[in-house]
Structure 1
Amino acid sequence: MLSLAYPWLLLLILLPLIPGLKRQADQPVEAPVLPIGHWLQELPGVSRSGRTASRWRILMLMAAWLLLVLALARPQHVGEVVDLPVTGRDLLLAVDISPSMEEQDMIIRQQRIDRLQAVKYVVGDFISQREGDRIGLLLFGTQPYIQAPLSFDHKTIRTLLDEAGIGMAGRATAIGDAIGLAVKRLRDRPQDQRVVILLTDGANTAGELAPDKATEIAAAAGVRIYTIGIGAESLIQQGWLGSRQVNPSRDLDEALLTRIADETGGRFFRARSLPELEMIYESINMLEPADLEGKRYRPVTELYAWPAGMAVLIWLGLQLIALARGREEPPAHE
C-alpha cells in the first residue's frame, strides 16, 4: 500500500495561498482571482506585477509546488509483512592465550605444534559449522578482552582468532575475570541461548574475580559454560643427561573446570591430543539450535524521488521557456 512518512507536511500546500487570502480580506475585488503569493511572482513565466501571467503557467507552477510538497511528505510503498526466522545460539568462545599455550605437545601430520595453533585449527572448523549462530571471541590471560562481539560474520571471527598471539593478554591466567566478562556480554541475550565455551591449559592465577564467584554469577544469569582443558599428560623431553618423561599439564586445574561446568549446566572436556580436541568440538557442535523469536518487517520502497524529479523538470521547463522568450523579445530603444 501507499503511505506518507510525514503526512502533516501536506499542510504546506496552503502556504502560497496565505498572502493572496490576506489581500482579499484587506481589499475585496469584484471578480474572483487566483491568489498568488509574492514569491510566485518572482518565478519564470510570471511577470513581476503578476498581471500578464497566463493561467497555464500558474497552473504549472502550482503543480510543481504540489509535487515538491508531496516529495517532502515522503511517499512510500509499504509491502506485505515478511517474517525473518532466526535460529541458533549465542556462542562466546573464551580462549586462553597465556604463555603456557606455547607448549608444543599437540601433533598434526607428524609435526608438533603448540596448543594455540591446535585451537586455531580445530575451532576454525567449528566456527564454520555453526551456521545460524551468533559467535563471539573472548581472549584472556592476565586480563580478558572481547576480540570480536557476537556476530553472524563467522569469517571475521576466524580471521581474528588466527591473528591472536600468545601473551597478548598478559602472562597469567584470569579464569574468573574471563567468565565475568562473558556473562556481562551475554546477560542481555535470550536465556536459552547463552553459551560459553571456555578453553584453558592452566589454573586461575590472576584476576579480581574468583572463579567460584564468577561461576555463581554465571549460573544465576543462566549462562551455560562448557569447559575444555587442553594439554598432553605425557611428553618426552630431551636434556643434557638424556630424555625424561614429564607431564606438561601438571598445572591444569581439572577440578575447577569440572566445577564450573557442573554448576552452570555445561560439561567438562579433556583434550590430550588434537583428535580429542576435534571430537570435543564435534560433541559441542551437536547442540540443538534453539529457535529465537523471529523478526517481522515490512519492506518499504521510497517514492519521493518521483514527485521531486517531476517538480524539478517543470521548473527547468519554465526556466527554458522564459529564457527562449527573453531572446525573442527585440531590444528596447530609447
Structure 2
Amino acid sequence: MMEGITFAHPQFFWLLLALPVALAWYIFKRDQQAPSLRMSSTQGFGDGGWLPKLRHGLILLRLLALAAVITALARPQTQDVSSKTKTTKGIDIVMAIDVSSSMLARDLKPYRLEALKEVASEFIKERPNDRIGLVVYAGESYTKTPITSDKAIALRSLEEITYGQLNDGTAIGMGLATSVNRLKDSKAKSKVVILLTDGVNNAGAIEPATAAELAVEFGIKTYTIGLGTNGNALSPISYNPDGSFRFGMRQVEIDEKLLQEIAATTGGQYFRATNNASLESIYDEINKLEKTEVEEIKFRRFEEKFRPLIFLAGILLLLEWVLANTLFRSML
C-alpha cells in the first residue's frame, strides 16, 4: 500500500512521540474521569458487563485520528518521473569500409569483412544520438548510406555490404574523398570519418593526401584503422575453375605510414587491428574519444496522498463523538 510513497515533510513524524505520552496520561487519570462510591462490600453487585470497559476505546479512536492527521502533515505523495534527452553537441560520422578481395582474408574470424561488420554494428548501436553514414570502396567508391539518424537503416545497409559490389583494388583516396563529400555540408558540431583498410592505395583518381587536405578544409577529423595480422594471412590468391577464390598464405601489406599521415593531418588517430579483440577495442576507444554531449531533462509529477488521511481522521473523530453522546453517554 505504501509502495512508491515518499513524504515531503517527514519531520512531522516526531509528533507521533506525543501519542504514547497522551495514552499514558489517560491511563493515569482515568480513575478521576468518573465519580467513586465507597462501600464496605461489593458483594451482590455484578462487574457491570463489557460495555463500560469498551468506553476506553474512545481514546484509541482519538489517538488514531491524531496519527492520521500527523501523517497527513508529513505530506505523503507519489511521483512520476519522466526524462527527455536533448543532444547539445551532435556528431556526424561516416564509416569508410574497404571491400576489396583482401578483406576476405581469414586472419580474423570468420574473415576480415564479416568481423568488421559485427564490430561496426555494435558501434552504431552505441551512438544513439549521432547520425551515421556508410561509404564502401575498393577500386572505386560510392555512398552506401547517406548520414542518417535512423539506426535501423544504417544497420541494414551495413549488413548488406559484401565483396564483389565494386571492381577490385584499394582506392583509399577515393574512399576518403567520398566520405568528405558526404560530410562537407553537415551542420553538426563535430564531423568524423572512420576509414578502414587492409592494404595499400593502388587505385582511384584522387590521391589520399589530396583527400586528407579536403577533410582539413571542411573541418573533418579522420580516424584510420589498418586491419590485418602481422606477417602472413590466409588470403585469396587466385580463382578456381568455378569462379570461387583459391586461398593461400600471403604477406599482409598495409601502408601504415600513409594511414598515420592522414590521421595526423586531419587531427585524428591511427590504429592497428591484428585480431578480432583488437578491432573491437579500437572501436570502443573511438567511441570514448568522440563523446556526444547530451542534456537530460527530468520531469516530476507529484500526486498528493494526504486527503484520504484527513478524511479518515474526520471519520474517527465523528465516530468518537457519536459514541460518546449515545452509547457511552451515561458513563462519561
Q: TM-score, normalised by structure 1?
A: 0.56
Aligned to 1:257: 259
Q: Is the 8 A contact 1:191 1:223 kept in 2?
A: no
Aligned to 1:176: 173
Displacement, 1:85? 4.4
Q: How has the CA–CA distance of structure 1 residues 229 and 194 changed in structure 2, closer, same or farther, with 3 Å as cutoff? A: same
Q: 2:286 is aligned with what amino acid?
A: I
Q: 1:249 is aligned with what amino acid?
A: V
Q: Is the 8 A contact 2:89 2:189 kept in 1?
A: no
Q: Distance in 1 between matches of 2:290 and 2:123?
A: 15
Does 1:140 find its partner at 2:137? yes
The 3-state SS of whatever aligns with 2:201 is coil
Deviations 1:19-40 (A, max 9, x none): xxxxxxxxxxxxxxxxxxxxxx
Q: 1:210 is aligned with what amino acid?
A: E
Q: Distance in 1 between matches of 2:264 and 2:208?
A: 13
The 3-state SS of whatever aligns with 1:106 is coil
Count of aligned residue pairs for this structure pair: 200
Larger-gyration structure (1/2): 2
2:213 to 213, 216, 223: 216
Aligned to 1:287: 289
CA RMSD of aligned residues (A): 2.5
Does 1:130 find its partner at 2:127? yes
Deviation >2 Å, runs of 4+ = 82-88, 234-238, 245-248, 287-292
Q: How has the CA–CA distance of structure 1 residues 248 and 273 changed in structure 2, closer, same or farther, with 3 Å as cutoff? A: farther
2:226 to 215, 226, 229: 229
Q: Is the 8 A contact 1:196 1:224 kept in 2?
A: yes
Q: Distance in 2 between matches of 1:139 and 1:151?
A: 16
Q: Is the 8 A contact 1:232 1:247 kept in 2?
A: no
Aligned to 1:117: 114
Q: Distance in 1 between matches of 2:263 and 2:291?
A: 19
Q: Which has the higher strand share?
A: 2
Q: How has the CA–CA distance of structure 1 residues 208 and 106 changed in structure 2, closer, same or farther, with 3 Å as cutoff? A: same
Q: How has the CA–CA distance of structure 1 residues 88 and 246 changed in structure 2, closer, same or farther, with 3 Å as cutoff? A: same
Q: Is the 8 A contact 1:93 1:136 kept in 2?
A: yes
Displacement, 1:248? 3.8
The 3-state SS of whatever aligns with 2:106 is coil
The 3-state SS of whatever aligns with 1:93 is strand
Q: 1:194 is aligned with what amino acid?
A: K
Q: Distance in 2 between matches of 1:223 and 1:183?
A: 7
Which stretch shifts more, 92-101 or 211-220? Answer: 211-220
Note the 1:14-93 alignment, pairs <5 A. 85=87, 87-93=89-95
Q: Distance in 2 between matches of 1:176 and 1:182?
A: 10
Q: TM-score, normalised by structure 2?
A: 0.56
Structure 1: gaps spanning 5 or more residues: 1-81, 108-112, 239-244, 293-334
Q: How has the CA–CA distance of structure 1 residues 279 and 83 changed in structure 2, closer, same or farther, with 3 Å as cutoff? A: closer
Deviations 1:237-287 (A, max 9, x none): 69xxxxxx966422x111100000000000000000000000000000003
